[in-house]
Amino acid sequence: MAQRLDAALELLDRQLVDKDGQLAGKVDDLELTDPGDNPDPPDVTAILTGPAALAGRLHTPVGRWLAKAAARLLAPGHQQPSRVPLDQVEAVGASIQLKVAAGQLDAGAGEARARRLIGGIPGAGDAAQ
Amino acid sequence: MRKLLEIALGVLTAIGGFVDIGDLVASTETGARFGLGLAWVVVVGVLGIIVYAEMAGRVASVSGRAVFDLVRERLGAGVGLLNLAASFFITLLTLAAEIGGVALSLQLATSVNYLLFVPIVGLLVWLVCWRVRFELMDNAVGLLGLALIVVAVAVWRAHPDWGAMLHSATHPVVPGTESHAAYWYFAIALLGSAMTPYEVFFFSSGAVEQRWTRSDLLVNRLNVYIGFPLGGLLALALMVAAALVLEPRGIDPSHLSQAALPTSLVLGKLGLALALLGFFACTSGAALETALSCGYSIAQYFGWPWGKLIKPARAPRFQLIVLVSIALGAGLVLTTLDPIKLTEYAIVLSAAALPLTYLPLLIVANDPAYLGDKVNSRLSNAIASAYLVVLVVASVATVPLMVVSKAGGG
């Protein structure tokens, strides 16, 4: 994928959609190559997602605290961002299509925990009418 | 035929859906204290929600994206997160006020203390959000909310001097007993109650979930252009009724019963029963909508699965947020905080936060990347920009006015 994109504008904060069409979080941060002495802009190597990735990108203490609180509440024990290498990206558009399932991402842990919490309530598996 | 029915249903539920505890409290209180001196704000507020709700519905239909989804994409992670925190807090406060409103309506009908109803109301709101035929319930309470038309009938039957009323509405003055700060404080409260952000969160999320497309743009326009003005008329009727009955008697409403007093004086027991039914239905519908909006805003910011039509197990974080929000809202009312005061703070803070919701919406509605040829027309941009100026001024003025007028206290 040697595509040229304005990463800040066309990747960051976009919606991730997994291989089954399910919403899978947002592009919370990007992993870049170390530019070293190279004057060219660095390349994007992976998409980072999850509240931990978000906290790393926020510059205000309040924002960072909010993101960390969200991470702790929803995915305790998973303080590392999920990493999606670019070769796992199917297409980039209004949303980012992935080749993997949401459950395979680390950020899926928060989803699984929430499902355990509410899964015992009768009707959790029924669609509303 | 099916389409026609769908449009009629949408319009009717929009009428009932416009009025909630904020309008009940703000219209009655301003009518009782300022006569028709603030009626113009209802008109301004209704036009504002029309312009921006139409935009939200159009963005949802064409791009398939709900409002909070776009807030983050347009404002970035940092500003978007602060926006989320503010919007969620205000929607939660509004949810608490609506739960309090449902419980107060039940107290008026049964004379049983409202606090006893709060846990039951919370449980029922959650059950509907969880799985009980949401659309059906939302439409049902929306239609029952039309019982509020009885307030307009009461105004009609009171044979007011229409000419004098029109004159006082078009030549607003601050009554000698009130301060200018209180006048403008309540103007902001009325604006907040008409343009409450949850209305566009709910409206746009519903449109996305029902997979509205370009072919639904007409339905969107009709819902908004007919439903909201008629809802605004109900809010005005409440204000006029209070101005006719409460203001001359010097009654400063501090309880929901006073919103029903004019109707019961003019139309008797049946009028009172219908008014209470209307209060109950409007606040119930709004409680459902605010509860879901709490879930929409957070789930859409983080990009998690959301929706009231999919299995709870497939959107567990969304459902968990809705559940916790309802528990927090009901808990707040159970602290015995006066639900009427709670409502006043919710609508005034809503007004202060309005630019947070409406600025990103206006930006996206002008972006061909999302809307193609359906971007805003020059006219709607001109109106929307003028409103944004008003909203920013109101937002900046809110806290100083709150301090100077001692939160509107006379």
Helix (DSSP H) and strand (DSSP E) numbers for chain B: 17, 0
* Domain B2-404, CATH: 1.20.1740.10
Longest dimension (CA), chain A: 60
Q: Is A126 on the interface with B (CB under 8 A)?
A: yes
Query: What pLDDT is attached to residue A64?
Result: 77
The ipTM is: 0.89
Q: Which chain A residues are Cβ-neighbours of B65 within 8 angstroms? A: 94
| Residue in A63, A66, A127 nearest the CB of B309 | A127
| Residue in B77, B85, B304 nearest the CB of A23 | B304
Domains and CATH numbers, chain A: 7-35+42-111 (2.30.30.240)
Question: What is the arrangement of strands in the sheet containing A82-85, beginning at the earlier edge strand?
Answer: A29-32, A44-49, A82-85
Q: How far is residue B188's CA from residue B38's CA, in Å, rounded to a whole number?
A: 10
Task: State both tokens at B258.
Answer: 């006073």
Averaged pLDDT score across all residues of chain B: 92
Burial class (CB in 10 A: 0-12, 13-18, 19+), A87: exposed
- Structure confidence by residue, pLDDT tens digits, B273-319: 999 999 999 999 999 999 999 999 999 999 999 998 888 888 999 99
Task: State both tokens at B246.
Answer: 């409460």
Q: Is A120's pLDDT higher than 90?
A: no
- Structure confidence by residue, pLDDT tens digits, B326-339: 999 999 999 999 99
Q: Is B80 on the interface with A (CB under 8 A)?
A: yes
Task: State both tokens at B307.
Answer: 């929706």
Q: Is A9 on the interface with B (CB under 8 A)?
A: no
For B305, the closest chain A residue by CA position comes to A23
User: Cβ distance A78 to A50 under 8 Å?
Assistant: yes
Over its length of 410 residues, how does chain B's per-residue pLDDT go in tens digits? 777 887 888 888 778 778 999 999 999 999 999 999 999 999 999 999 999 999 999 999 999 899 998 889 888 888 898 899 999 999 999 999 999 999 999 999 999 999 999 999 999 999 999 876 677 887 888 889 999 999 999 999 999 999 999 999 999 999 988 999 999 999 999 999 999 999 999 999 989 988 889 988 988 898 899 999 999 999 999 999 999 999 999 888 888 999 999 999 999 999 999 999 999 999 999 999 999 999 999 999 999 999 988 888 889 999 999 999 999 999 999 999 999 999 999 999 999 999 999 999 999 999 998 898 999 999 999 999 999 999 999 999 999 999 999 888 75
Q: Which chain A residues are Cβ-neighbours of B323 within 8 angstroms? A: 118
Interchain pair A128, B317: CB under 8 A = no
Burial class (CB in 10 A: 0-12, 13-18, 19+), A129: exposed
Q: Is A72's pLDDT higher than 80?
A: no
Q: Is A76's pLDDT higher than 70?
A: no
